[in-house]
Amino acid sequence: MNKVFAVLAIALIGTTSLSAQDDASVRFGIKLSPNMGFVKSETKALKANGSGLGYTFGLLAEFPIGANGNYRFATGLNLNNITGKWKEDYTYVDEVAGPMKTKALETDVKLQYVELPLTIKLMTNEIGYMRYYGQVGFGNAFNIRAKADMVAPKVAGSLTDGTPIVTEFTENKGEDIQSDIALYKASLIVGAGMEYNFSGSTSLLVGVTYNNGFTNILNFDVAGSKAKAKAHYFELTVGVFF
């Protein structure tokens, strides 16, 4: 994972160096953004189970395209914390001679990614001290941590048809499930907002962003097939350019 950090940092610094030589209006900033995340399952045995709050913080960098500065290549380096909730309908017997039962096993995950966004930002001319923008592009995220609060069965054996025999269910807090999460997550980023210029190059950025995941984030099997789900979130983007 240290190699991932190194590659992303070198790429960002290299792009910055090249662009800074061509145009003096390259901008840098920071952001801290709360988000609301949710998971959409594409596997019948898994069901979405609500949303949860997370946050993102990181660096902002913008490089002008053309002379007027209204079109910009916007990137950065983010530490992205999102949540996801799902449940699995689990069929079992609690005793060898007991009746067949079904229980919803709930999982509440907290995922952390290093994200490199690659977007195009379209800005209006300044209206008073305000400029408005739209933004679209792609997110490239690498998972570095995955923790889960989950309900897990304690299996004592199975019937001849394979149905598990469960003695009890336990609630596990902060379980490390990084091996169950895919390393790479790609997404479509769509956003809009406004900037207020305080003085010189210092501006306050406020906007909303939708991050639509389009790759599978799961890396385990359920009900005899590979589990598939995509992670999405809405973000309130708050940042400062210096």
Q: What CATH number does the domain containing 217 carry?
A: 2.40.160.20
**Residue 95 belongs to some domain of the structure:** no
- The reported pLDDT for the residue numbered 214 is 94
In a domain, 164, yes or no: no
At residue 158, the 3 state secondary structure works out as: strand
pLDDT of residue 96: 65
Residue 15's pLDDT is 43
Q: Can you give the C-alpha Rg of the chain in angstroms?
A: 22
- Residue 122 in any domain: the answer is yes
Total structural domains within the chain: 1
**69 in a domain, yes or no?**
yes
Task: Classify residue 62: in a domain, yes or no.
Answer: yes
For residue 104 the two structure tokens come to: 């919803």
Tokens of 155: 């299996």
At 16, phi and psi to the nearest 5?
A: -60, -45
CA–centroid distance for 186 within its chain: 9
> Has residue 73 been placed in a domain?
yes
- pTM: predicted TM-score of the whole model, two decimal places: 0.83
φ and ψ at 226, to 5 degrees?
A: -70, 130
- How far apart (Å, rounded) are the C-alpha atoms in residues 155 and 166? 5
15 part of a folded domain: yes
Angstrom distance (rounded) from CA 89 to CA 132: 47
Residue at 9 is within a domain: yes
Q: What angle do CA 50, 52, 58 make, to 5 degrees?
A: 145
pLDDT at 92: 85
- Expressed as residue numbers, the domain containing 194 is 2-78+109-148+180-241
Determine the residue type at 213: G
- The pLDDT tens digits along the chain (242 residues) read 444 444 444 444 444 443 333 334 899 999 999 999 999 999 888 899 999 999 999 999 999 998 777 999 999 999 999 999 999 888 888 876 677 888 888 999 999 999 999 999 999 998 888 999 999 999 999 999 999 999 888 888 888 787 888 888 888 999 999 999 999 999 999 999 999 998 888 999 999 999 999 999 999 988 778 999 999 999 999 999 99
Q: Tokens 């209204």 — which residue?
A: 70
Distance CA(210)–CA(52), nearest Å, equals 15
